Structure 1
């Protein structure tokens, strides 16, 4: 695992002038962000609602996990967020904490509190503590809040678009600059929540010799979780001006072709694809982001699927994953 991370997503610890705070550290991208930073020798403070190492432990050993400072707290609590930022002495923040599409649909108020108020709390804490390096996760779903975008409208996307506008105001009025990144469909170890997590679920099913049906088809982004994490890390490797927002989609190929790659690894895999395509603009180029933050590595899709499959196999065999809890 360590060699794998180093080869594809090299992080230079000398570019960081102090510890980094990662919110949403128990999630998929959060786990990979914590793992990559720790692997590079950067001091990491991990913040989430509770200390939950289930996903991080899939890609980090106990020694690495013990090198991380774990904080439990509610992103909605302004005082708690400010206290963590101040007392930890972090010099950069990677804000990933959020509730995904299904959770926002089921509880719009909780979704708004976590996704919108939580983001404002992070910006307020960064402003109060003089943080000059700040990045946050928007989403390709934010396009649904734009007129005539053709993208699916969701409360999650509306909240994410609101955050982009919030970032713009903080930059203009307070001189608190940030980089927003809109990930598309993320796949990889640790991706088990959200409406677009089903391609990863199919890989897990193949590793467990289970049948599975992906409920959407057609072209989609295939963004390896480690690549997404590396992009967020690059975004805080130096200070930036303004509040630019960039797309991040990885490779753009059909779900059917991705499942064909999986079947080439597991010829007897019982994986089906049904339903229509996802209504998000996932064909947008990553090149503007790479030009702005610098190279953050790239994961070839066939390699990413193979690694994810083999990692799931290992986690099942060692008891780290109970398949019934993940599928």
Structure 2
């Protein structure tokens, strides 16, 4: 039976990962560790009553002693490390970003190495931010073995995390998987630069509920690689529990299209759902180019963990809008103040 220690488990990806893990009968208990222990997004996927196998606790991964104590008491069989500060927070406060994203990751690896019973698996949430600009990779897709050239501090620290993962694997022999992902969209996504596509969808749903158009303009344009949030959760759950030995850095499955095409699909779906009159989406006149790489090659993750999902963008948008409309009706759907 699996006892899984998961950091960042109340965030967008974390909550979806928890939901996917609970679908597995061999999961005995989940210890969800976050700074706030706010279960709001977990309730989105799990309902008002959390599964009895889920335990929440507030802790800072930057506190090495606290993390060591939690691991020693819980004695996990698996760790999924999702907790991190995202790009805007890292840019605003680089020292705090490094404390959480590098030192916090180091604390977790060191504590895991001291466990009396070795882990069965460690899964690390890396990022496509480890790659450089799309223009430096000439191929049709970007595989995992290309030169890494992160465009910002967040990416630099994810590269550091992957190196820490490799050292941990070399020292302990514990199988380690680092998953690299781009733009996650869908219910629960409300932080980070690439939350913009989700904000666009929320503006349609909230506008439809309030009977008014809420215009939204994307702050960046160009090509973008999209992952539906439930697919991402399924990748992390699969990387933790499906058969695997060794160490791997893997791109997760997604779809790359133009930002403008994503917005057009959103408009089409909104019209099909009868709320197209409340759709006013576009790319801002002063939009910058998308900072992150796209066209991720994902053959390796299919070979390593066959059958993980890749939801079509139209389907992901439709499911997202349906949930956002329910949230709007319940009074729980919010938008950034800059949009309203």
Q: Tell me the SS of whatever aligns to 2:282.
A: strand
* 1:273-312 mapped onto 2 (5 Å cutoff): 273-274=283-284, 275-312=287-324
1:32 counterpart residue number = 16
Q: Tell me the SS of whatever aligns to 1:59.
A: helix
Q: 1: CA distance between counterparts of 2:171 and 2:52?
A: 40
TM-score, with structure 2 as normaliser: 0.85
1:250 maps onto 2:254 in alignment: yes
1:70 counterpart residue number = 56
1:128 maps onto 2:132 in alignment: no
Shift of 1:285: 1.5
Shift of 1:310: 0.9
1:51 counterpart residue number = 37
2:333 equivalent among 311, 318, 321:
321
Asked if structure 2 preserves the Cα contact closer than 8 Å seen for 1:227 and 1:298, the reply is: yes
**Cα deviations across residues 176-199 of structure 1 (Å, max 9, x unaligned)?**
331001111110111111111100
2:131 equivalent among 143, 148, 163:
143
Asked if structure 1 preserves the Cα contact closer than 8 Å seen for 2:77 and 2:121, the reply is: yes
2:80 equivalent among 94, 97, 101:
94
1:233 equivalent among 234, 237, 240:
237
Q: Tell me the SS of whatever aligns to 1:19.
A: strand
Shift of 1:265: 2.5
**Cα deviations across residues 190-239 of structure 1 (Å, max 9, x unaligned)?**
11111111001000011111211111122111101111111111111146
Shift of 1:66: 5.2
Shift of 1:91: 1.0
Tell which deviates more after alignment, 17-26 or 310-319. Answer: 17-26
RMSD, aligned CA = 2.3
1:249/1:325 Cα in 2 relative to 1: closer, same or farther (>3 Å)?
Answer: farther
Q: Tell me the SS of whatever aligns to 1:244.
A: strand
Shift of 1:133: 0.7
Moved over 4 A (4+): 148-152, 324-327
Q: 1: CA distance between counterparts of 2:308 and 2:87?
A: 27
Asked if structure 2 preserves the Cα contact closer than 8 Å seen for 1:28 and 1:189, the reply is: yes
Q: 1: CA distance between counterparts of 2:256 and 2:93?
A: 31
1:213 counterpart residue number = 217
2:166 counterpart residue number = 168
Q: Tell me the SS of whatever aligns to 1:99.
A: coil
Asked if structure 1 preserves the Cα contact closer than 8 Å seen for 2:200 and 2:216, the reply is: yes
Q: Tell me the SS of whatever aligns to 1:158.
A: helix
Tell which deviates more after alignment, 100-109 or 78-87. Answer: 78-87
Asked if structure 2 preserves the Cα contact closer than 8 Å seen for 1:104 and 1:111, the reply is: yes
Asked if structure 1 preserves the Cα contact closer than 8 Å seen for 2:150 and 2:156, the reply is: no
Asked if structure 2 preserves the Cα contact closer than 8 Å seen for 1:184 and 1:222, the reply is: yes
Q: Tell me the SS of whatever aligns to 2:97.
A: helix
Q: 1: CA distance between counterparts of 2:315 and 2:331?
A: 24
2:102 counterpart residue number = 116
1:186 counterpart residue number = 184
Aligned length: 311
Asked if structure 2 preserves the Cα contact closer than 8 Å seen for 1:208 and 1:313, the reply is: yes
Richer in strand (by share):
2
Q: 2: CA distance between counterparts of 1:97 and 1:108?
A: 16
1:82 counterpart residue number = 68
Q: 2: CA distance between counterparts of 1:241 and 1:18?
A: 17
TM-score, with structure 1 as normaliser: 0.88
Q: 2: CA distance between counterparts of 1:243 and 1:211?
A: 45
Asked if structure 2 preserves the Cα contact closer than 8 Å seen for 1:24 and 1:30, the reply is: yes
Shift of 1:50: 1.8
